[in-house]
Structure 1
Amino acid sequence: MDYRRFGNTIIARMDKGEEILEQVKEIALREKISLASVQALGAVDQFTVGVFKTEEKEYLANEFQGSFEIVSLTGTINTMHDEFYCHLHMSAGNEKGEVFGGHLNRAVISATCEMVIHVIDGKVDRYHDEEIGLNLFRF
């Protein structure tokens, strides 16, 4: 992984074999990011995405392996209890044009991932909402 910072924008290149969430965390900690938006594209050969079932208050995870292009990767970097927190969603398509996506749990890069991180001046922490079962923004 390599990246450059231009003011409040970070342009990152993640490389084959690297796991996306690990690399986002490394950048966020190194750059002391407490609030940012994330967008990316690239290619992965392994990924796990989930869907939150509201009534059961649990995620259902789906694992994929093969050749996939990241169609969309978007989300936020912020904090929870003043510690790094990242919330990303990803959609990826296969050679048939089928697209799978959801809450990103894990993704291993097969070629490259090009990411843009827009750092936002400020801080938004999270808290766990027992009624909903999710970690929500606290303003």
Structure 2
Amino acid sequence: MEYQQYGDTFYVRMDKGDEIITNLLNLCQEQHIASCTYSGIGGCSSAEIQTFIPQTGTFETRLIEGMLELASFTGNIITDQSGELRNHSHGVFAYKVGERHEVAAGHLNAVVVLYTAEITLKPVVGGTIYQQYDEETETGFWKLHE
């Protein structure tokens, strides 16, 4: 991973074998970024995608592998109650199965780069977005006021 800051935006390039979410969390720790948003595109080799199932209160996880065009990647990193950084990422991937073009999308747990990923990361300026726990989903949502 390589990155450069211009103004208040970080421009991040990830290379073959890099895991995107882990690297973004590491960048935020290095740069003391408590909350941010990001978006990007790229070519990936694997993605672990989740979908929340409200009826059961659980997430279904699917691993896709191969030449995956990361057509859209967006998300945020916020700070939880204990001061740890937490990510919330979604992605859309296009890929081929035989002669068919397919698309898979959802919440992302892990994404590994095949060729490159180009991501812009914008830190929150003038404050911090924290996480508040949601019992129904057992996850955290934005807490905008202290």
TM-score, normalised to structure 1's length? 0.94
List gaps (5 residues or longer) in structure 1: none
C-alpha separation between the residues in 1 aligned to 2:113 and 2:101?
19
Query: Aligned residue for 2:135?
Result: 130
C-alpha separation between the residues in 2 aligned to 1:76 and 1:6?
19
C-alpha separation between the residues in 2 aligned to 1:5 and 1:57?
40
Give the drift of 1:131. Answer: 3.0
C-alpha separation between the residues in 2 aligned to 1:135 and 1:48?
19
Q: Tell me which amino acid in the other structure corresponds to 1:85.
A: R
Q: Does 1:54 align with 2:58?
A: no
Q: Does 1:103 align with 2:104?
A: no
Give the drift of 1:87. Answer: 0.6
C-alpha separation between the residues in 2 aligned to 1:19 and 1:98?
23
Query: Aligned residue for 1:77?
Result: 77
C-alpha separation between the residues in 2 aligned to 1:83 and 1:37?
16
Query: Aligned residue for 1:88?
Result: 89
C-alpha separation between the residues in 2 aligned to 1:50 and 1:118?
25
C-alpha separation between the residues in 2 aligned to 1:23 and 1:132?
26
Tell me how large the CA RMSD over aligned residues is: 1.2
Q: Tell me which amino acid in the other structure corresponds to 2:109.
A: N
Q: Tell me which amino acid in the other structure corresponds to 1:138.
A: K
Percent identity of equivalent pairs: 27
Deviating 4+ runs (over 3 angstroms): none
Cα shift readout 1:36-72 (whole Å, capped 9, x = no counterpart): 1100100111111110112222110010111110010
Kindly tell me the number of residue pairs found equivalent between the two proteins.
139
